Amino acid sequence: MSLAASGPPEATFRLNMLWTDERYRSGFIQAIAMILLMLAFAWLINNTVQNLSDLGKDFDFGFLWEPANYDINQRLIDYTSRDSNAVAALVGILNTLLVAVLGCIAATFIGIVAGVARLSKNWIVAKIMTVYVETFRNVPVLIWILLIAAVVNESLPAPRAYRGLDTGPFVLTNRGFYVPAPVMEAGAGVLIAIVLASIAAVIALRIWARRRQAATGQQTPVLLYGFGIIVVPAVLFYFILGRPITLEYPELKGFNFQGGIFMRDSLIALWLALSLYTGAFIAEIVRSGILAVSHGQSEAAFALGLRPNRTMNLVILPQALRVIVPPLISQYLNLTKNSSLAIAVGYMDATGTLGGITLNQTGREMECILLLMAFYLMVSLMISALMNAYNSRVKLVER
């Protein structure tokens, strides 16, 4: 075999090729950076453990099973001061999730309404929404929380003001809001199962209708059919089973109301403040998303005879979602993390329980802070995953 046919000999690997050869340089630099990062992390952990040891402390989560020895004024599950710190932390976590869920729902509704209203041709409506957005966006959320808490406490009447009056199912006082509470009786589980099965049937109907429309172009009135699928069986079986679910109304007994679901003034103030504050940012996101849609889309819809509200719901907003959803994720995350300011109005959330009283009583600041960080990290990742999944569904599909 000739030398020309065999080709040039392959170069042997040399150590200096790790930083001189572009084939190896990138991987070598990344490996060095990872090693340095791991060494720094190991040093930090060792230094922390050594400092705790010098202070006579160890790294232990056993305090979670010790009695909490403090009360929590707002709770979704049964809790007493004799329960463990872990149960107290769970109560605080549920309180945080309650504010986050209610806040995201309310802020989304407020943001959509305000964002669309800012583009209204009615000068008064547009200017009022502009004042709302600019006012709430440029004042710190903590001030809004304190201000709304003061308004709730000072403007609403005390419970004794309702003495002798027919309050009805909803009662607003300066101590909090009272709403009817569901009372489960025999057969309630069967009725709930029927409602869940109906909801699953509606979801299946919606999936089938979308596939049918994509294949044939024919639309199915999913909203009308879905309403019938959920309401008709629920009402029918509600009376067949002998009304297994009833409502307990709040009643004034002594100096306060008893019965129903009680939402403390601190919860109401925090919920309203976070919703209005975040809703102002969402309004700008919605407005920018609508403006990102070509004006020719609305003109074409008007030419086809669609009314403005139908054009907004069927043409503009579906296209604007691809612009709205990504920054909307950040606002949901901000609202969830801003709920940690609840301690300012006495609402016991995860920060007030695990990162507040439990931390101060046990002296386990490192363990409590790490658990609190892990909770907020998991919640934030879950919100991001759900919203990214929704974003992948509403994005434009290219050919």
Residue with tokens 């869940």: 196
Quote the pLDDT of residue 238.
Answer: 87
Considering the domain architecture, whether residues 291 and 377 belong to the same structural domain is answered as yes
- Please tell me the pTM assigned to this model: 0.81
Considering the domain architecture, whether residues 378 and 271 belong to the same structural domain is answered as yes
User: Is 277 domain-assigned?
Assistant: yes
Alpha-carbon dihedral sign for residues 135, 139, 141, 144:
negative
User: Is 386 domain-assigned?
Assistant: yes
Residue 114, SS3?
A: helix
Average pLDDT for 140-156: 90
Minimal CA–CA distance to 73: which of 95, 98, 52, 93? Answer: 95
Average pLDDT for 71-90: 89
Least confident of 43-57, 70-84, 125-139: 43-57
Average pLDDT for 34-63: 83
Residue 244, SS3?
A: coil
Considering the domain architecture, whether residues 116 and 23 belong to the same structural domain is answered as no
Considering the domain architecture, whether residues 381 and 310 belong to the same structural domain is answered as yes
CA angle centred on 139, ends 372 and 341, rounded to 5°: 20
CA dist 324 and 102 (Å) reads 20
Number of domains in the chain: 2
> Residue 175 — very low, low, confident or very high, per pLDDT cuts 50/70/90?
confident
CA dist 383 and 390 (Å) reads 11
What would the DSSP string read from start to end of 261-307? EEEEHHHHHHHHHHHHHHHHHHHHHHHHHHHHS-HHHHHHHHHTT--
User: Is 182 domain-assigned?
Assistant: no
Considering the domain architecture, whether residues 290 and 387 belong to the same structural domain is answered as yes
CA dist 197 and 125 (Å) reads 43
Average pLDDT for 354-373: 88
Q: What is the mean pLDDT of the chain?
A: 86
Residue with tokens 């801003």: 338
Minimal CA–CA distance to 374: which of 350, 397, 394? Answer: 350
| Residues in Cβ contact with 278 at an 8 Å cutoff, skipping those fewer than 6 apart | 103, 104, 107, 111, 331, 334, 335, 338
**Residues β-bridged to residue 382:** none
Considering the domain architecture, whether residues 276 and 372 belong to the same structural domain is answered as yes
User: Is 219 domain-assigned?
Assistant: no
Alpha-carbon dihedral sign for residues 380, 385, 387, 391:
positive
pLDDT tens digits for 254-287? Answer: 778 888 888 888 899 999 999 999 999 999 999 9
pLDDT tens digits for 153-172? Answer: 888 888 888 887 777 788 88
Considering the domain architecture, whether residues 107 and 48 belong to the same structural domain is answered as no
Considering the domain architecture, whether residues 129 and 27 belong to the same structural domain is answered as no
How is residue 174 written in tokens? Answer: 């300066």
pLDDT tens digits for 292-330? Answer: 888 888 788 888 887 877 787 778 888 888 888 889 999
Residue 172, SS3?
A: strand
Quote the pLDDT of residue 396.
Answer: 60
User: Is 168 domain-assigned?
Assistant: no
Quote the pLDDT of residue 1.
Answer: 46
- CA contacts within 13 A on the Cβ side of 233: 17
Quote the pLDDT of residue 9.
Answer: 55
Considering the domain architecture, whether residues 276 and 390 belong to the same structural domain is answered as yes
CA dist 125 and 131 (Å) reads 10
pLDDT at 240 over 60: yes
User: Is 226 domain-assigned?
Assistant: no
Considering the domain architecture, whether residues 36 and 143 belong to the same structural domain is answered as no
User: Is 369 domain-assigned?
Assistant: yes
Considering the domain architecture, whether residues 134 and 40 belong to the same structural domain is answered as no
CA dist 109 and 93 (Å) reads 24
> Residue 11 — very low, low, confident or very high, per pLDDT cuts 50/70/90?
low
CA dist 50 and 59 (Å) reads 10
User: Is 375 domain-assigned?
Assistant: yes
Alpha-carbon dihedral sign for residues 355, 358, 364, 367:
negative
The CATH number given to whatever domain includes residue 305 is: 1.10.3720.10
Q: How, if at all, do strands 256-258 and 261-264 pair?
A: unpaired
Considering the domain architecture, whether residues 33 and 151 belong to the same structural domain is answered as no
Domain of residue 117: give its range: 98-155+266-394
